[in-house]
Structure 1
Amino acid sequence: MADDIRPASRRPETAAEPEGRWLAEVAAGASRDAGGVDVQLLGEYLPMLADAAVHGRRPRREELDVVEALGRRAAEQGISAGRVVQLYLSAARRLWHDLPAVARSRDCEAVRVAATAVLQVVDDAVATLAEGYAVARRDLVRREETLRRELVDDLLRGDSDLGALVERAEPFGLDLARAHRVALAAPSRRLPDADAAISALEAVIFDRLGDRDVLVATKDGLLVVIAPADATTAQRVAPPPEPSGELGQLMHRELTRLPRGDTWRIAVGRAHPGLYGIARSYEEAREALSMAGRLQVTAPVVDAHDLLVYRVLLRDQPAIVDLVQAVLGPLVNARGGAQPLLDTLREYFDTGAVATESAKRLHVSVRTVTYRLDRVRRLTGYHPADPAHRFTLQAAVLGAKALNWPAQPLPASG
């Protein structure tokens, strides 16, 4: 069909110029157009285009299978879909422009047929390329999710081989020599779309912290965030006021914005250095999450540091049960039960033993507060205003709150 067709290229065709060199020049130009994408990703695409233009041949299935494999290779190499598609489209444009056998011809029908054949190849090849790319990307995402989940499980368990974990953590940008804190996010019902939640958290945390050393995953129906902390933080007696709270508030704000959002509770562990520090921070966050529920904490974000005293108290549960029973047990004999007296003691201690402020918080008169404190003294033998008695009473009040007494009976002490 193409004997009477002459090139439209401004570059004169010479009989001595090999076809392979010409196609190589087209491929090189297309690679430049696509930002330097490897010409090897074109495979036999250019000969397919030339064959379609000259002979009108459509690509065979096995040829398209090769194109699909090239799409998968591009995805595995981390090349963007836009750039690899641009490579193919630019190659087609350049080939048509410089095609030695097809260009400007008096036979319009011949040119139309050639153009139709070339466009069909472009359509089939690009669609197949994109399909291969998408399949590979899905496989890569699934593989990364599996690796991420397994890495998080091993990090939080804290008993895996350090050398192997360092190697596995490196692709995720996690530096196990740094200090990290772990935050857990629990929905009020079941975990919603985990992928959307992970993507949202990663984007906002990377943007805010300016650090790639963050890992977000799911575990046991919870969202888990492993985030870096100032290496000096773990050595301080008192933590800085912001970082852990900032992470928790950041997570809470982002999660509540999700479509079909839920009510979330966030617990943040303290910062600890090294691999085992991650496992320790996770255990603290998990205990804080559980304890916040038991203590009926209304705040959506809880910090493990703020609940340390309850962890200490419950470490020896038989002892704290015995303390509550021995010190506060007599309060059940008061008119109205133990709860009003316990509430008064709690506010009294929280306000630094200031009766007027306690009365404001309880919405009662100062006289009522002083009356209740006197009732405590008479029933228990401990005077809330006496420094020698105050520590025992306050420890017992905290223990009662941790055990949810008197709403629930005290566990058997032994």
Structure 2
Amino acid sequence: MATAGRRRRTASTATAQEAWLVEVAAGASRDAGGVPVALLGDYLPLLADAAVTGRRPGRAELDAVGRLGRQAAEQGISAGRVVQLYLSAARRLWQDLPIVVRDRDRDAVRDAAAAVLHVIDDAVATLAEGYAVARRDLVRREEVLRRDLVDDLLRGDSDLGGLVERAEPFGLDLARVHQVALASPGRRLPDTDTAISALEAVIFERLGDRDVLVATKDGLLVVLAPADPTTAGRTTHADDLGHLMYRELNRLRRGRPWRVAVGRAHAGLYGIARSYEEARESLTLAGRLNVSTPVVDAHNLLIYRVLLRDQPAMVDLVSAVLGPLAEARGGAQPLIDTLDAYFATGSVATESAKRLHVSVRTVTYRLERIRTLTGYDATDPEHSFTLHAAVLGAKVLNWPTQPLPIQG
């Protein structure tokens, strides 16, 4: 009979303790903004056991806390809130600790407090470590998913339905108008994470965190951003995405000098791939043409892209029209530079002379020399179009610095 009575009292005590710990856990959850109580696991019994017996948790018990930290990260709960849950639970437990512990002598209470603090220290540290490991894994997985998504978007030949589903977690609406901007570093970046973070921060602040992707591809930083539907088929104003990227990247210690190229805005999935191709070709052309401006507008290089579409015809044009200039004293380059300046200044010899830092007489002499060698007169409107197209082609082909490609 006595034994049975003791068992009933023990069961009653255990039930009361469980109810008390449930109440402590619920209060801690409220303090932490509704973080699920399940993330406490066996943390509260560990604290109570430490207060009563002084026992510190074993490795297996701490590993369980670490797993809870990983679960919190995977559920998208902030580290601050889950730590607040644990600290609030410890505070509430100590405040409501049964009278049998609180009525001990001073040394016993001090020992109980030290044991509880040890458990808090070990548990929170393990919790944070598990959380950090999970966050790193999540970031790595997200980076892989983002990089694969960007690759498929820029290629433009993937399954539309699958891309729409994969783009949704990143907030992308593939039916909208987008444009692609590429940033090329002057030197190879040992770590692109800093550049990506800098771009994300400033672009998200300006454009919002939806419909924006920042990633890397082939050594370039890629920004996919929404555009005003009214700008479809052309780039936005120069002070927008390209200059925003250039200003932010130039603040970094590494990578300078940067060059940024912005494709025109296009609608839909295939518009993204088209804008990317325009930006990529613009970067290539800017390098060949020695463009001085750091932000390149694809719209301004359309004529060069047209010329590149039929390279054999362009080589033939340059060879037939400008090839005879190679016979001039000093070679073809000074005469081609003169034509380039002449057309760029609206066929005004005085302005051409200023740009070339030569006399007007030198400009007129060179134009006459060009007419003699080629049979084309730059001052004749009918001839000037052919000469201008040939000069643009020579710039694209980097002739006469490099020999013209041999056509099969």
**Which is helix-richer, 1 or 2?**
2
Contact 2:51 2:101 in 1 (8 A): no
Alignment CA distance shift 1:188-1:239 (3 Å): closer
| Letter of the 1:128 counterpart | T
| Corresponding residue pairs, total | 397
Contact 2:187 2:255 in 1 (8 A): no
| 1:56-97: CA deviation from partner (whole Å, max 9, x where unpaired) | 222122221221111011111111111111110111011001
Normalised by the length of structure 2, the TM-score is 0.93
Q: Which runs of 5+ in 1 are unaligned?
A: 1-13
3-state SS in 2 of match to 1:267: strand
Residue of structure 2 aligned with 1:122, choices 115, 120, 123? 120
1:287-366 pair list within 5 angstroms: 287-366=281-360
Contact 2:155 2:273 in 1 (8 A): yes
Alignment CA distance shift 1:310-1:106 (3 Å): closer
Which moves more between the two structures, 206-215 or 268-277? 206-215
Question: In 2, distance between residues paired with 1:233 and 1:320?
Answer: 31
Residue matched to 1:189: 187
Residue matched to 2:261: 267
Residue matched to 2:45: 47
Question: In 2, distance between residues paired with 1:240 and 1:149?
Answer: 25
| 1:23-44: CA deviation from partner (whole Å, max 9, x where unpaired) | 1221121112212211111111
Contact 1:92 1:122 in 2 (8 A): yes
Residue of structure 2 aligned with 1:229, choices 227, 230, 238? 227
Contact 1:96 1:103 in 2 (8 A): no
Contact 2:189 2:254 in 1 (8 A): no
1:139-218 pair list within 5 angstroms: 139-218=137-216
Residue matched to 1:57: 55
| Letter of the 1:291 counterpart | L
| Letter of the 1:395 counterpart | A
Residue of structure 2 aligned with 1:18, choices 4, 10, 16? 16
Question: In 2, distance between residues paired with 1:138 and 1:98?
Answer: 37
Alignment CA distance shift 1:258-1:288 (3 Å): same
Normalised by the length of structure 1, the TM-score is 0.92
Question: In 2, distance between residues paired with 1:45 and 1:261?
Answer: 48
Question: In 1, distance between residues paired with 2:218 and 2:100?
Answer: 63
Contact 2:236 2:265 in 1 (8 A): no
The Cα shift of 1:239 comes to: 4.5
Residue of structure 2 aligned with 1:105, choices 77, 86, 103? 103
3-state SS in 2 of match to 1:223: strand
Contact 2:44 2:89 in 1 (8 A): yes
The Cα shift of 1:241 comes to: 3.0
Residue matched to 2:5: none
Q: Which runs of 5+ in 2 are unaligned?
A: 1-11
Alignment CA distance shift 1:233-1:100 (3 Å): same
The Cα shift of 1:172 comes to: 0.8
Residue matched to 2:369: 375
| 1:252-292: CA deviation from partner (whole Å, max 9, x where unpaired) | 22222223343222121111111111111111111111122
Alignment CA distance shift 1:144-1:15 (3 Å): closer
3-state SS in 1 of match to 2:232: helix
Question: In 2, distance between residues paired with 1:47 and 1:266?
Answer: 58
The Cα shift of 1:211 comes to: 4.7
Q: Percent identity?
A: 78
The Cα shift of 1:20 comes to: 2.0
Alignment CA distance shift 1:324-1:283 (3 Å): same
The Cα shift of 1:126 comes to: 0.7
| Letter of the 1:404 counterpart | N
Residue matched to 1:7: none
Question: In 1, distance between residues paired with 2:151 and 2:278?
Answer: 16
